[in-house]
Structure formats: C-alpha cells, structure tokens
Amino acid sequence: MNLLQDYKRFRNEMFDIVTFSVNGKMFLFDTNTVLFGIIDNTFIQCIEFICENLKKSILTNQDLTIPEVIKEDLEIFKDYYSKGVIGNRVLKEFNDTTLTDTQNVVSSLTLDLTYRCNMNCTYCFAEGGSYGQKSQDMSLAVAIKSVKALLETPSKKVHVNFFGGEPLLMITMIRQIIEYGNKLSEDLNKKITYGMTTNGLLLTKEIIEFCNINNVGIMISCDGLKEIQDKMRPLKNGGGSFAILERKMKLLNSLRLRTTVRGTIVKRSLGRLKDTYTHFIKHGFSNIHFASVSTPSCNSYGLDVVDYIEYFKELCTLEPIIYEELRKNGVSRLGYLKYAFDILDNKHIKRNYCGAGSSSLTVSPEGNCYDCHRMVGKESSYLGNILDENFMNNHAKAHLNNLLEESCRSCLAVSFCKGGCYAEKATQSHEIWNAICDFNRNMVFLVLKLYALRYLNQNDEIFAMGT
C-alpha cells in the first residue's frame, strides 16, 4: 500500500533510489545509504539521464552530450556517488561474509533470570516463562560470571537486559547484579546500562526508585485494553490482570519521566489499535512499541495474511496523532518511528536486524548461551556455556550474521529491516513471513511520508540537494 505521491523507483547495479512528493515538494531517498533530501524536477531528470546512459559509464565518460539543464546536478550526483553518499557500496559491505573483530564483539547480554512467571499468558513464546524447561532460577554465580565476561570484552559500552520468566521475581538478585556491574565497570573504566522487560504486576515504589537511581530501563509488556489484556494475559489462577496493571502503570508513570510499553497485537487488537495507542498515551508512556504476536497464524489469536494488511491500515489511522506529536516535539511516541527516524537522522545503518548471535547473546538460568532470547532451549541456537572460561573468545562468531537473501537486497525496506527477525522467520510459515515482509515495506512508505512532513515543518526554507 504505497502512501507516496508521484512515486518513482530507480534501481540498477549502481544505486537504488526512490523519489516521491509530499505537499507538493519532491524528495529523494537512497534505500542503501538512507540519504534523504529535498530535490527538484531537474534532479529527477538527472537521475533519469544517468539510468538511460548507464551502459555508457556516465559517471566516468564525458563524451556524452549532457543537457545543459542537468550539468550542475550531475556533478553533485557524481560527487555523492564517489563519496558513497549515494550507491550500493553499503549493501555490498553488509553482505561481506568476513566479519571484523569489532563487528563481532559482544556488547549486550540478556539474562533469563528465571523460568518462573506470575502470569499465564495465552500466547507466551516462552511457554509460561519456562521455555519448556523445568522451573529454575539463575544462580548468582552464573549471573556474576555473565556480567564479568561481558565487561571483559573490548566493548567500551555494554548493556544487560533482565528477562524471564518474570524478572521481578528475582529482584534481590537484580540488585546484587547491578551493584557488582557498577563496581566492575567503574574499575574497568567502562559504561554499563541496564534494562528490564516485565509484565509490571510486581512493580513497587521502592523498585521503581531503585531503577531510577541505577538508570534501569523498564519496558512493560502488555496488551493494553481491558478486554484484550484480561483474555490474553490471565494470572496463574485464571483471573484478569488489567486492574492490577492499571494501578502499576499509574505508579510507574508518576515516578519516571520516560517510560516504555510494548503492546502485543493479536487478532482481538485489530479494530482497536487507535484506542490502544491513546490508552497508552493516557498513562503517560513516552515510548510505545507495537509488535504482532509471536505465534503461528493457525492459532485463534495469531495474525494471518489479511490481518497484517488490516494491521497496517490501522497504523495509518494514527497518522494525525503522530503528525501532531512530530509538529509539537519533533519526535513521535511510536517506537518504530523513533527507530526509523534515528536511522534517517544519523545514517545509522545496522549490519543485521538486532545483533543476535554476534553482538548480542542470551544466557539461560543454567548458563547456556543462545543467539536470541526467543530461541532459548533450541539446539540450533545454542552457542555454549558462559561458565566456560574461554566462551566469549571462542563462541561461534558470525553464528547468526543475517546475511541478506537475494530478495532482501532488492527490497525498499532493506536499511530498516536488514532481513527481519531471525526468530520470527524460524517460527512462521512462508506465507506469513511474506505478509510480514509486505507489512515492513508498507511501514517504510509511512515512515518516509511522516519524515518528509516533519522535515517540511522544521524547515522554513527548502533547499535542493547539494546546495
């Protein structure tokens, strides 16, 4: 579903560029280098001339008769191309099978502190928090070893995320881990940050204030509206969880300036997405992430192909709210937009979707290491054990490079998606995976439109590229 007016795509062995208009202004976007800018019709003529004469080596051969009107823009284009600002060089580097040591250094660990959980979510990919394993908590020895190994890598900045099960069942150990991590990081002159993914039901004022003091990020994972939350995320006794979570969200947002929520999208969510977004806004969340449920579509709550189309259409209904956020603050609360705008603002192009298996690892309660927190217990994702003294040096580097498939290399969303979620791809059918890909491409259209609107709102004067 292309939301862009006057859309054109120029793709060849040199570059992959799209042009489009928003509010009467023309824009350019390079899908590989994520260059974004205002252009005029002359610049489009320049691109068209290059494409028509590509076989004649337009960028190096000056024997062609070049129209006077595009000569200046052609020089700008040639300069951008020679500097790698435009072109396919970045994409080729991403598909290099030889990874450098820097690209492989582990800088983030997810600690699955426990297989226990205080809820019984219908769709939990961790099977109630246990991942199909016997109930077990991580020992302090495994936790300390994990943090020590992480801080002893060459990374100057590292991150530890507390996961489960429900990590707040292990709050005493979390305090011990943070005390140890802060002390060791100071001794090693490194920076360590922390995060936590929680269902939120065990939050207290004391825990929130502890997290504030130690700069621990808190992400609440929930479904949002009462009828969906209570149905999909019941307590162990079968009771609803919405009322408890409602109180905890109010407490959280009264004590923190910036808070994050992750709303799971199930079939029941469709038709209510706008209500869910405004529900999260009402509770003061500054970062709102939506993610489709991680379950096969054959289940009654999983999304099918048609559902993904509807999901995107509903996200588009948020456009007036999001535009107002952008107009007032320059940023949106919607997590994907923040992620995508960061890429466009800072030209921050990641090598793969999330770093799983290379820069990011997950440690189970037993100390077993996996490339992804969603693949704990899966033999294909097992990398070794953190208690092995040489694990960080010898772990299977590039175990999960996410080298792009051929279809990905030609995709409009390549610089945002980077081949997509490895765990999602491993668990979904080919049909649903294709629907997810279509959804991701549609999201790029929405991103480009909103980014252009923000650009127009923030710039009184509009300049052509290169000026």
> What single string gives the DSSP state of each residue in 230-292?
HHHS-BTTS---HHHHHHHHHHHHHH-SS-EEEEEE-GGGTT-HHHHHHHHHHTT-SEEEEEE
pLDDT of 161-210, one tens digit each?
A: 999 999 999 999 999 999 999 999 999 999 999 999 999 999 999 999 99
Are 4 and 20 a contacting pair, CB within 8 Å? yes
Q: Out of 206-210, 296-300, 414-418, pick the least confident.
A: 296-300
Which stretches of 98-229 are assigned E, i.e. beta strand? 108-112, 157-163, 191-198, 216-222
Cis peptide before 367 (omega within 30 of 0): no
Give the Cα separation of 33 and 343 in Å (integer): 10
Percent of the chain with pLDDT over 70: 87
Per-residue pLDDT tens over the stretch 430-458: 899 999 999 999 999 999 999 999 999 88
What are the domain boundaries of the chain?
Answer: 5-94+403-458, 105-394
Please give the pLDDT value at position 467: 38
The tokens for 56 are 């004649």
Phi then psi for residue 198, to 5 deg, are -140, 155
Region 252-269 average pLDDT: 93
Instruction: Quote the pLDDT of residue 387.
Output: 92
Whether the CB-CB separation of 207 and 197 falls below 8 Å is answered with: no
Lowest mean pLDDT among 38-47, 393-402, 419-428: 393-402
Higher-pLDDT residue of 93 and 104 is 104
Band the pLDDT of 52: cuts 50, 70, 90. Answer: confident
Across the chain, what does the average pLDDT equal? 87
Assign 118 to helix, strand or coil.
coil
Determine the pLDDT at residue 133: 66
Q: Work out the pLDDT band at 301, boundaries 50, 70, 90.
A: confident
- Pick one of 3.20.20.60, 3.40.190.10, 1.20.1250.20, 3.20.20.70 as the CATH number of 105-394: 3.20.20.70
